[in-house]
């Protein structure tokens, strides 16, 4: 569906300046994701750190011509643009979505709860897609912004809608209810998650229930509604509450739950009939989510035999896109379990974000159960691929092989087609893939998981998983505590603390940090080759790297007169002037930097040459993490201020000033100045242990069990026989050693590994490629089982403490032979 810009203006009661009454098809909130500019409407939403109005000029250059704004704009600067002036752009977005929702009279399932919303939504899609043409929330689009974007997807071909709603504070659910207007309400559960914005659990329960104030029926767990049914009655006398549980009063009576080794049998009684379902899961969360889905299917009138058959084939919800290293310098994005239009656009956005200037290839299967006519479906697929500048498409399946070429028409985009996955694997020459980013996306029935290993770079089974969502989350956590004017320099030196420089830098660039910092020029060169365009400061420039620095537009740190003179001479030889550099001032670290006593000389020498333009002046704090060092930190700050004030007066122009690292940004907010340098904090490590930020773990180091040994008392383990067992023992050999970065000093019981959520001590000496752990007290350990070296539960901070070192050393010590796997939830 589409709306004229004048119609939208009337919906949101805007003061409008309309040059051309064009049609709007896409709602745009992110200036980095412009794929159909002429039919997009941009909402200039203001947040704590970003103001959407500052991106209008950039978007206008990209071809966007429609804008919802909340402050006056000089329209003469944008002669072809339409502007709709409102009090609040976010409210306008929600008004448009609410109006759009009112155009449809179909069942709408609204899902709320503390946990399980996305799984229930995705399982309902799996279970009901043969009965309905379903529109659903992409990913976890359940916020004040995500819900309107989800609703906007609805069109006249849909026969069922499923939307999530998530809230973090009072009043938010009422706004979402006005947009979603669910006819069927589903409460997954009430737990501890997302409790910060509420007085207590009762307050949170009441707020979540607001979503269902105009619903016909509410479905939920008996335990959540015990003693609370009066709250439902207060919502509206016509609302029917239906609960599931073991009590006889439940509408969906759970007769039995029988857990086996790999599946669970559940017997449900409803309307004097019994439904017996079996699901291929045994964990409690999956059992609860499956029961909720079965109850909804029964409410919709789906037959028991259909429910039983489809429940057997439930598959896990793959909540993440994985980025892996491929052969021939390729990168592989694994999304091999789904094929629908919403998730295609999400995956293509991730492809664009990660390709960084390289060729983009998409391997795609037939799209099933879309509800659209095939011709319309593949036209939309073709448009999405072309709008995201895909270079090469490989289609697998009879429908895509027939219809996508027609949809592309005379497009110059490279295309190849195969009828089956087996045919592609058998006949395609995989060595043809070179220096490109490849998205593998297909419906589960096509078994694209067989393709991914053929594209991957071969590596041993120890991997470092990098959660890109967590990285973004941590960045935003720091941004919340920064002054609005304070910029961010993200440190990506030492291979981004072991996490992968180019991949991490790509995410940070996408999130619009202001600067990147590297240790050496070659790190900066690699980032430039990977398509990173952000300003990059080189903290340890060497004379033999000057040419590479200039060639790749890197900005060196100047910390001594010798370096200043050498680079000045080089620039003059290249006839370059006003080259951007950064000055380090020594205030107490006593490592690198100009002395406080040399500032006048430094200023005079800079005035005597035209070679340099000072971008920033900075210093390093020696003990910002430690309270007992606070007086020294303040002394450093005073010295720094005196030096930069003096230097700025000599030079006669303003430059950026920065002294705060991750810890100082939290503990010493008055030192945030013009910019902060965020390092290990971005990776989830609060080096100051303040607990003030909700940081998430970014890196998880995993390996597998290579072999199990069954030893008798007196048997020894590893070199030098230092590990001796005193009982019948089970010893697991793990595929990681000191050559992978596991510290040798963690041997002989000092270090531990997580196996099946329990800690197993290292026994004996750490070997180059292997360690051995004692799993005697951990049942059901098998060869091939996954183990965690560090991650969310067993943190890198704990590993560092055992090894008598710091998290920096552990993370940067993970060797390059350990495969990095990047994923986005």
515 flagged as catalytic: no
Nearest partner of 635 among 690, 589, 689, 687, judged by Cα: 589
Max Cα-Cα span within the chain: 94
Three-state DSSP string of 590-635: CCCCECHHHHHHHHHHHHCCCCEEEEEEECCCCCCCCHHHHHHHHH
Distance between alpha carbon 704 and the CA centroid of its chain, in Å? 25
Q: What angle do CA 170, 175, 180 make, to 5 degrees?
A: 130
Nearest partner of 84 among 161, 8, 177, judged by Cα: 8
Nearest partner of 818 among 512, 455, 457, 482, judged by Cα: 457
Alpha helices in 356-487 (DSSP H): 374-387, 398-408, 421-427, 452-455, 468-481
Q: Which of 312, 529, 719, 758 is catalytic?
A: 719
Is 500 within 8 Å of 822 (Cβ atoms)? yes
Three-state DSSP string of 240-257: EEEEEECCCCCCEEEEEE
Q: What is the DSSP letter of 511?
A: T
E strand spans, 337-420: 359-365, 392-396, 414-418
Which DSSP helix (H) or strand (E) runs through 172? helix 172-180
Three-state DSSP string of 187-225: ECCCCCCCCCCCCCHHHHHHHHHHHHCCCCEEEEEHHHH
Rounded CA-CA distance 335/347 in Å is 7
How many residues can be counted in the chain? Answer: 825
Nearest partner of 106 among 140, 132, 141, judged by Cα: 132
Residue with tokens 């098998």: 782
Other C-beta atoms closer than 10 Å to the C-beta of 205 total 17
Phi-psi region of 714 (alpha: psi -120 to 50; beta: other; left: phi over 0): left
Alpha helices in 85-135 (DSSP H): 89-101, 117-128
Q: What angle do CA 34, 407, 352 make, to 5 degrees?
A: 30
Nearest partner of 126 among 284, 285, 307, judged by Cα: 307
Q: How many CA atoms lie within 13 A of 519 on its CB side?
A: 8
3-state secondary structure of 434: coil
Enter the tokens of residue 386.
């072309």
Q: How many CA atoms lie within 13 A of 212 on its CB side?
A: 31
Q: Which of 493, 657, 702, 752 is catalytic?
A: 493
Residue 478 φ/ψ, nearest 5 degrees:
-65, -40
Rounded CA-CA distance 319/825 in Å is 5
Enter the tokens of residue 760.
């197993």
Q: In this structure, are strands 579-584 and 555-558 parallel, antiparallel, or unpaired?
A: parallel
User: 146-169 in b/e burial notation, b at 16+ Cβ within 10 A?
Assistant: bbbbbbbbbeeebebbbbbbbbee
719 flagged as catalytic: yes
Residue with tokens 């207060």: 234
Would you name the residues annotated as active-site residues? 493, 719
């Amino acid at each position: 569906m589409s709306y004229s810009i004048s119609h939208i203006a009337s919906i949101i009661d805007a003061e409008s300046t309309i040059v051309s009454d064009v049609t709007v098809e896409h709602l745009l909130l992110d200036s980095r994701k412009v794929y159909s500019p002429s039919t997009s409407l941009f909402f200039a939403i203001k947040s704590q750190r970003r103001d959407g109005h500052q991106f209008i000029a950039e978007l206008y250059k990209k071809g966007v011509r429609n804008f919802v704004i909340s402050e006056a704009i000089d329209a003469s600067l944008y002669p072809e643009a339409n502007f709709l002036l409102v009090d609040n752009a976010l409210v306008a977005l929600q008004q448009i979505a609410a109006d759009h929702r009112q155009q449809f009279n179909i069942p709408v399932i609204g899902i709320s709860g503390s946990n399980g919303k996305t799984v229930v939504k995705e399982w309902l899609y799996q279970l009901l897609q043969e009965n309905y043409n379903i529109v659903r929330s992409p990913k976890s689009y359940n916020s004040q912004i995500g819900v309107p974007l989800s609703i906007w997807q609805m069109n006249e071909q849909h026969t069922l809608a499923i939307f999530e709603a998530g809230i973090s504070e009072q009043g938010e659910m009422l706004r979402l209810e006005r947009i979603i207007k669910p006819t069927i309400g589903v409460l997954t559960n009430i737990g501890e998650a997302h409790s910060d914005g509420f007085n207590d659990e009762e307050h949170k329960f009441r707020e979540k229930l607001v979503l269902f104030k105009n619903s016909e029926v509410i479905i939920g767990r008996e335990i959540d509604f015990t003693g609370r049914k009066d709250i439902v009655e207060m919502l509206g006398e016509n609302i029917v509450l239906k609960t599931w549980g073991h009590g006889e009063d439940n509408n969906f009576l759970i007769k039995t739950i029988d857990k086996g080794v790999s599946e669970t049998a559940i017997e449900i009684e409803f309307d004097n009939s019994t439904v017996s379902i079996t699901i291929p899961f045994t964990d409690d969360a999956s059992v609860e989510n499956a029961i909720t889905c079965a109850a909804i299917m029964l409410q919709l009138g789906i037959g028991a035999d259909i429910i039983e058959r489809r429940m057997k084939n439930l598959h896990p919800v793959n909540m993440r896109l994985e980025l892996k290293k491929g052969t021939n310098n390729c990168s592989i994005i694994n999304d091999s379990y789904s094929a629908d239009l919403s998730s295609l656009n999400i995956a293509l956005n991730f492809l664009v974000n990660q390709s960084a200037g390289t060729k983009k290839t998409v391997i795609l299967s037939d799209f099933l159960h879309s509800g659209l006519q095939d011709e319309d479906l593949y036209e939309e697929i073709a448009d999405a691929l072309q709008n995201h500048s895909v270079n090469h498409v490989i289609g697998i399946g009879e429908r895509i092989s027939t219809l996508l070429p027609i949809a592309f028409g005379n497009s110059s985009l490279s295309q190849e087609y195969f009828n089956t996955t087996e045919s592609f694997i058998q006949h395609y020459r995989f060595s043809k893939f070179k220096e490109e980013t490849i998205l593998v996306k297909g419906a589960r029935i096509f078994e694209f998981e067989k393709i991914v290993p053929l594209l991957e770079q071969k590596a041993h089974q120890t991997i470092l998983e990098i959660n890109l969502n967590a990285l973004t989350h941590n960045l935003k956590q720091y941004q919340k505590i920064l002054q609005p004017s304070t910029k961010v320099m993200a440190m990506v030196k030492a291979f981004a603390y072991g996490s992968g420089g180019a991949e991490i830098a790509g995410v940070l660039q996408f999130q619009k940090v202001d600067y990147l910092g590297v240790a050496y020029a070659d790190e900066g060169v690699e980032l430039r080759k990977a398509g990173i365009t952000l300003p990059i400061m080189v903290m340890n420039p060497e004379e033999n790297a000057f040419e590479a620095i200039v060639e790749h537009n890197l900005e060196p740190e100047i910390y001594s007169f010798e370096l200043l003179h050498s680079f000045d001479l080089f620039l003059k030889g290249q006839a370059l002037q006003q080259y951007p550099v950064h000055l380090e001032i020594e205030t107490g670290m006593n490592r690198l930097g100009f002395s406080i006593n040399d500032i006048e000389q430094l200023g005079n020498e800079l005035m005597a040459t035209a070679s340099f333009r000072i971008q920033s002046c900075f210093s390093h704090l020696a003990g910002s993490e430690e309270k007992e060092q606070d007086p020294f930190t303040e002394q450093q700050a005073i010295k720094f201020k005196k030096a930069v004030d003096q230097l700025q007066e000599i030079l006669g122009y303003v430059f950026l000033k920065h002294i705060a690292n991750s810890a100082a940004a939290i503990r010493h907010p008055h030192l945030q100045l013009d910019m902060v340098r965020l390092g290990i904090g971005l990776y989830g490590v609060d080096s100051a242990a303040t607990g003030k930020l909700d940081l998430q773990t970014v890196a998880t180091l995993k390996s597998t069990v290579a072999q199990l040994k069954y030893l008798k008392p007196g048997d020894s383990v590893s070199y030098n026989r230092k590990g001796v067992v005193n009982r019948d023992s089970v010893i697991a050999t793990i595929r990681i050693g000191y050559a992978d970065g596991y510290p040798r000093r963690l041997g002989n019981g000092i270090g531990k590994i997580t196996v099946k959520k329990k800690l197993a001590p290292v026994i004996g000496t750490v070997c180059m490629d292997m360690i051995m752990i004692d799993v005697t007290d951990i049942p059901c350990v098998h060869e091939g089982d996954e183990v965690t070296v560090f991650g969310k539960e067993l943190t890198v901070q704990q590993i560092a403490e055992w090894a008598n070192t710091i998290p920096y050393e552990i993370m940067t010590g993970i060797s390059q032979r350990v495969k990095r796997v990047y994923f986005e939830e």
